[in-house]
Amino acid sequence: MREDRILSELEELLGNKRIKYEQNTLNEFEVDYLENSKGKALALVLPNSATEISAIVRICNKYKIKYLARGGGTSLSGGSLPLDNCIIIDLSKMNRILEVNFDEQTVLAEPGVINIEITNVVDQKDLLFAPDPSSQHMCTIGGNIAHNAGGAHTIKYGVTTNHVRAVEIVLPNGEITNFGNGLVDGQGYDLLALINGSDGTLGIITKALLRVIPKPASSQTILLVFDRVKDASKTVSDIIRKGILPSALEMMDQIVIRAIEKSEYKVGIPVDAEAALLVEVDGRKTDVSIDVENIIQICNDNNVRTIQRAKDQKHAEKLWAARKSAFEVVGKQNENYIVQDGVIPRTMLPQTLEKIYEIGKKYDLPIANVFHAGDGNLHPLILFNGKIKKEKTNAIDASIEIIKICADAGGSITGEHGIGIEKVELMPYMFNKEDIELMTKIKMIFDPDLQCNPCKVLPSGSKCMELSAKARE
Amino acid sequence: MSDFNNTIKELENEIDKINDDELSKYRIYERTPKAGFAPKNYEEISKIIKESNKNGLKIVGSGGATKLGFGNIPTGYDIIVSSSKFNNTIEYVPEELTISVQSGITISNLQEIVNAKNQFIPIDSIFPNATLGGIIATNTNGILRTSYGSLRDLVLGIKAVDGNGKIVKAGGKVVKNVAGYDLSKVFIGSLGTLGIITEINMRTYPLPEYESTLIIQSNNLDKLRDIVEDIQKYSYPGGLELINSNFGEQLINSEYEWNLLIRYLGHKNSINEQTSKDKKILKKPDGEIQEIDGINSRELWKRYHNILADTYETVIKIMVPITTSTNILKSLNTLQKYSPLIYCEPSLGIIHMQIDSKDKDFGSSEITNMRNEIEKNAGMVIIENTTSTIKKEINSWSNYNNNINIMNQIKNAFDKNNVLSPGRFLGGI
């Protein structure tokens, strides 16, 4: 059988310790992070190098078997969910930091390096790696690039693509090449930018040259609590209108606040408050003081209930840990959830939240909201009981309605989690037939046989639709 | 030939033509287009492109015609398509920190529009009538790149008509957007080879209240390099430029070999504090430190651009690992006899050299020698603009050129008959 032959060739290449194909081992790798979907893998392999990955890809080509790369498996859009009997190329053990260059302000890392490790390794020289998704203690660099990961600081510092100088990549034909040359500028078409956010569908990253930046001289984190969502939203708009560019501007609603205050991450937010904002400003000390003064003034003009200024670094970290725990605490305290990742123009925040609450009422499901208010990137968490089939389908329908609102408002159906498997059918809300055809042409340039992370990002026929639907049942 | 004339006549009936006596403005190294058009809408652009596809004609797009000399000499050049009628603002909501404009808007008009709402866009061209479409096609960034990033960080979305005559939408209108492949970035620096850019969505930023520039002059480049290293760590300058004696003399009557300009942007109190501190604690440069602030600082940077615009002749862009910037600058001293204007962003590893190469010995062999030396040491040398002679003799692009196969296929996806800007790009694309 074809499958047996490929497994034996892979075992010959890697030895029997670096290939797993027993079903009870594969089970945990076949579910996505939220355990809402289950796919199907043929085997999991653990390569150590680009050369091995190239050989694996060539073997897959020979037998026409599909494959995908996996880092921390934390994708919230099913990006690392194997479909169609894939070989999972697990890069979590390719996790060495190869070179740190403080003078050039770069770090060369293998794709399995965990995001926070990059900042850790340059911290001694007051440098940091800006992209900081909330999963940064578990997610890996390869996945960050694949999804063009964001985090809380994108309003000022951008997303992953703004912090990658070059990648080494195995293309779907097995060739090993580089995109970007490590210099700040290059020539030719920006293939490096194309790879960022391609959800691992154009090749497998084997090394990344990352840019690190100086830590700001000064920063101030402030927690602001509001009785009414309306006042919190207006505060967000007013801050931007005043000409302040915060380094972070996050919002949490009542369900999230209550979940945090019930957990070990609690920070003393009154649980009858409708919304809380976590703001951070950074830069030169005097600029920060001026910005903070202005923010306090704006809050007072908008009926703020309490203002909690971080007294020191430790206090600031505690406030941030609370915010970043949102998905975790909501997840623990509820059976299941679906999280969406739509983006809306910031000025439409108040009416969009209203609509989201209405959708929750319509489907009789609670929807918790935490989001990057500074750049309009929403994360509604639709809570349901996975044991009740109707609730699951309602949750999916609710999440699609929310995405439609974002697309209709001129935003995006995904700000940072990626299309993955989850939003493939929603692509037409943002792109017309020609746009999708063009993206398909690009995909075919890299992967004409559609083997690399199949059925992700682009609508690719009825077989994929069937497999995706089955995975999410 | 008569096919060509028929095609042009047909297009002329519907689309505004550029007068024949104005076509010389669009000359690219001895090649002048045979006809020119200034379309007003998508149907017109698409028609020009589709007819050109049918009849084997070649098109170059142009905005302000300020950098048509980029890239190699086009292998075909029949029609110029100007964006002069595509220069409106489509949507601007300052609270969103984004703006949507048509590609023919000049950078100076664009800044005026956003300045009126206390915002700005941190890119500039040395030519105020450069258009945003042209700026993107040539990847022209500017002085504030050091702190605000490049076009790759500022462009959110692009709409274009591709070489097949189809409308292409890439990216979107919001800062956070990972839906589909990020094709908007592929247009940056693409020199019009993928499409005629028509609309652009950009980030905007709050307009800094105040600015000041410290000018540190020295004959000792190593001292200035040490100062740059310190500054980068804590001072957050809005701009950092290292300029040579020829440039310094014209800009500020400098008598020193090197001049480091540090531009600060932000609140007035904060800047005054920072510059006072920096003047005291920066390592001694064996030279002079002076400060120019407020409106005088703004004027200084305008003059900076004007000088570069006036001497825009042979322009070479050198990119090197950041830590080798000052060593490369030293090696360029051997070219002093050609009186180059040299300016460098030392925290980015980007150096530009402008030389008036008419009536001088500076030519292909000097450039090739310099290129070989620099590229041996992980750098890249691109010739942005120069004389026809030099453009004919050597490749504008650096020898670093892998992945041409993929790039060719991308070009093919957007422009299957190679109608747009043929031959100017990397790899002969």
**Could you tell me the pLDDT band of residue A418, with boundaries at 50, 70 and 90?**
confident
In sign, the C-alpha dihedral spanning B189, B191, B197, B199 is positive
| Per-residue confidence (pLDDT) for residue B146, from 0 to 100 | 86
For B168, which residue in chain A has the nearest alpha carbon? A435
Query: Which residues contact residue A255 at a Cβ distance below 8 angstroms, ignoring those fewer than 6 apart?
Result: A330, A366, A367, A368, A369, A381, A383
CB contact under 8 A, B380 and A245: no
DSSP secondary structure code for residue A305 in this structure: E
Q: Distance between CA B257 and CA B254 in Å, rounded? A: 8
pLDDT band at A453 (very low <50, low <70, confident <90, very high): very high
Residues 125..154 of A with a Cβ closer than 8 Å to B: which? 126, 147-148, 150, 154
Output the CA–CA distances (angstroms, integers) from residue B136 to B130, B151, B210, B421, in the order listed: 10, 7, 28, 15
| Cβ distance of A441 and B413 shorter than 8 Å | yes
Interchain contact A67–B (C-beta under 8 A): no
Provide the token pair at B87.
């220069």
Question: What residues pair up with A127 in beta bridges, in sequence order?
Answer: A214
DSSP codes, B263-276:
EEEE-HHHHHHHHH
Does any CB of chain A come closer than 8 Å to the CB of residue B302?
Answer: no
Contact map slice: B 360-399 vs A, CB within 8 A: 378-380, 382, 397-398
Mean predicted confidence (pLDDT) in A111-128: 97
Report whether pLDDT(A223) > 80. yes
Name the 3-class secondary structure at A448. coil
Phi, psi of B258 (to 5 degrees): -135, 145
Q: Does A174 touch chain B (CB under 8 A)?
A: no
How far apart are the C-alpha atoms of A106 and B322, rounded to whole Å? 11
**Residues of chain A contacting B411 with CB distance shorter than 8 Å:** 189
With a CB cutoff of 8 Å and minimum separation 6, the contacts of B33 are B23, B26, B60, B77, B78, B79, B80
Cα separations in angstroms, A175 against A40, A121, B204, B399: 27, 31, 40, 21
Q: Which amino acid is at A468?
A: S
Given a contact cutoff of 8 angstroms between Cβ atoms, the answer to whether B79 and B35 are in contact is yes
Which residues of chain B have a CB within 8 Å of the CB of A417? Answer: 178
State the CB neighbour count (10 A cutoff) for residue A28. 10
DSSP track, B103-149:
TT-BHHHHHHHHHTTTEE-S---SSTT-BHHHHHHTT---TTHHHH-
| Min Cα–Cα distance to chain B from A173, Å | 12
Q: Which of residues 34-73 of B touch A (CB under 8 A)?
A: none
Shortest Cα distance, chain A CAs vs residue B323, angstroms: 6
Cite the beta strand spans of B174-235 per DSSP E.
Answer: 195-203, 205-206, 210-218
Q: Which residues of B touch A200 (CB under 8 A)?
A: none
Q: Is B153 near chain A, with CB under 8 Å?
A: yes
pLDDT by 10s per residue, chain B, length 429: 568 888 999 999 999 999 999 999 999 998 999 999 999 999 999 999 999 999 999 999 999 999 999 999 999 999 999 999 999 999 999 988 999 999 999 999 999 999 999 999 999 899 999 999 999 999 999 889 988 999 999 999 999 999 999 999 999 888 888 889 999 999 999 999 999 999 999 999 999 999 999 999 999 999 999 998 888 777 677 899 999 999 999 999 999 999 999 999 999 999 999 999 888 877 787 888 999 999 999 999 999 999 999 989 999 999 999 999 999 999 998 888 899 999 999 999 999 999 987 756 788 999 999 999 999 989 999 999 999 999 999 999 998 767 999 999 999 999 999 999 999 999 999
Distance from CA of B336 to the nearest CA of A (A): 26
A40: exposed, middle or buried (C-beta count within 10 Å: 0-12, 13-18, 19+)? Answer: middle
**Mean pLDDT calculated for residue range A239-245:** 90
- Please report the sign of the dihedral spanned by the C-alpha atoms of residue A453, residue A455, residue A459, residue A462: positive
Contacting residues of A for B205, CB less than 8 Å apart: 245
Nearest to A196 among B96, B182, B229 (CB): B182
Angstrom distance (rounded) from CA A137 to CA B157: 31
Supply A420's token pair. Answer: 């993955």
pLDDT tens digits for range A277-306:
999 999 988 999 999 999 999 999 999 999
pLDDT of res. B1: 55
B398:A187 CB<8 A? yes
For residues A453 and A146, give the distance between their C-alpha atoms in angstroms, rounded to a whole number.
Answer: 11
Q: Between chains, do B180 and A439 touch, taking CB under 8 Å as contact?
A: yes
pLDDT of residue B235: 63
In B, minimum Cα distance to A432 occurs at: B169
For chain A positions 290-349, those within 8 Å of chain B (CB to CB) are 290, 343-347
**Average of per-residue pLDDT across A82-91:** 95
pLDDT digits (tens, 9 = 90+) for A123-177: 999 999 999 998 999 999 999 999 999 999 999 999 999 999 999 999 999 999 9
Contact A148 B182 (CB under 8 A): yes
Q: What is the pLDDT of residue B359?
A: 58
Nearest CA in chain A to B176: A415
Q: Which residues of B touch A457 (CB under 8 A)?
A: 180-181
Angstrom distance (rounded) from CA B31 to CA B28: 5
Nearest CA in chain A to B233: A214
Mutate: best of A101, A108, A184, partner B, most B CBs <10 A: A184
Judged by a CB distance cut-off of 8 A, whether residue A411 touches chain B is yes
The pLDDT score that the predictor gives to residue B282 is 77
- A179 close contact with B: CB closer than 8 A: yes
**Beta strands A86-90 and A41-45: pairing type?**
parallel
CB-CB neighbors (< 8 A) of A196 in chain B: 182
Instruction: Tally Cβ neighbours within 10 Å of residue A317.
Output: 13
Size of interface A-B (CB pairs under 8 A): 234
In which band, very low, low, confident or very high, does the pLDDT at A20 lie, cut at 50, 70 and 90? Answer: very high
Contact: A439, B183; criterion CB under 8 Å: yes
Compare CB distances from B93 to A148, A347, A442 and report the shortest one's residue. Answer: A347
Q: Length of chain B in residues, anyone?
A: 429
* Inter-chain CB proximity B180 and A415 less than 8 Å: no
Q: Where is A58: in which H helix or E strand?
A: helix A50-63
ipTM summary value? 0.95
| A334-381 pLDDT tens trace | 889 999 999 998 888 888 989 999 999 999 999 999 989 988 999 999
Nearest CB to A435: which of B169, B233, B414? Answer: B169
| Residues 433-462 of chain A whose Cβ lies under 8 A from any Cβ of chain B | 434-436, 438-439, 441-443, 445-446, 457-458
DSSP-derived 3-state class of residue B96: helix
Q: A239 to chain B: nearest residue by CA?
A: B95
What are the chain A neighbours of B232 within 8 Å (beta carbons)? 214
Hey, is A227 helix, strand or coil?
A: coil
Closest CB to A343 among B153, B176, B232? B176
Backbone conformation region of residue A423, classed left if phi is above 0, alpha if psi is from -120 to 50, else beta: alpha
List, in order, residues 6 or more apart from B274 with CB less than 8 Å away.
Answer: A284, A286, B235, B264
Specify whether the CB–CB gap between A36 and A386 falls below 8 A.
Answer: yes
Contact B262, B239 (CB under 8 A): yes
DSSP string, B13-57: HHSPBPPGGGGGGG-BTTB--SEEE---SHHHHHHHHHHHHHHT-
pLDDT tens track for A92-103: 999 999 999 999
Chain Cα centroid distance, residue B230: 28
pLDDT at A420: 82
Minimal Cα–Cα distance from A268 to chain B, Å? 31
What was the pLDDT predicted at A55?
A: 98
Residue among B97, B153, B162, B178 with most chain A CBs within 10 A, to mutate? B178
Instruction: Tell me how far apart the alpha carbons of residues B240 and B278 are, in angstroms, rounded to a whole number.
Output: 14
> Least CB-CB distance to B93: which of A194, A345, A415?
A345
- Residue type at position A87: I
What angle do helix axes A254-261 and A326-333 make, rounded to 10 degrees?
80
Chain A contact for B234 (CB, 8 A cutoff): yes
